[in-house]
Amino acid sequence: MRYDAPGLSARGMSMPGAPIIAIGSNNYVSWGITALGGDVADAVQYPTRGMDTANPEYRTVDDWKLFMKRETEYNVIALEGKRVEKETILYTEVGPVFYKDESSVTALQWVGLEPDREGAAFLALNRATALGDIRNAVNDMATSQNLLYCTADNHIGIFRQASTLYARTMAAR
């Protein structure tokens, strides 16, 4: 991918749907990322009631709460042709439900579902002209990764754990 616009000239690798360059360079700096392998997700189990009703609930430490619901559609392409499937995804206060049984659900609490400034951080990195710009961009990163860098004025290094690891607030036990 390559950007050439006023105030931004960068090239490198992006991810589908992301309007930033995640690994790349501009006329002043180059950067790369490596996975940190930090623990950034939890599976949180909740007792449930009324799962066969229109308003199912899950139990938190403090009280029973209604699930948030999101309707989603997706295409299924099979040998007999294409069809549209609909599904209701249940959400708890920590994230989406990925497993249910007769008396409980398990939800995903993941740092990637939290609000962050990741896009702004990578855009700042795409525009960086010096080591200070890289350092400022790293301060806004949310994902757990190491950031390797090289600047035109001969600074080479790595910001280990460019972000903070997931600070947990356990909703249920």
Residue 173: band (very low, low, confident or very high) from pLDDT cuts 50, 70, 90: very low
Topology of 2-36+114-157 in CATH?
A: Glutamine Phosphoribosylpyrophosphate, subunit 1, domain 1 (3.60.20)
Residues of the chain with CATH 2.30.120.10: 41-112
Q: If you average pLDDT over every residue of the chain, what do you get? A: 87
State the number of CA atoms in the 13 A half-sphere of 18 facing the CB: 17
Residues of the chain with CATH 3.60.20.10: 2-36+114-157
pTM for the model stands at 0.67
Distances (CA, A) of 21 to 50, 61, 65, 132, 156: 46, 42, 40, 19, 19
Could you report the per-residue pLDDT of 99-135, keeping only the tens digit for each?
Answer: 999 899 999 998 778 777 888 889 999 999 999 999 9
- Range of weakest confidence among 36-40, 44-48, 55-59: 36-40
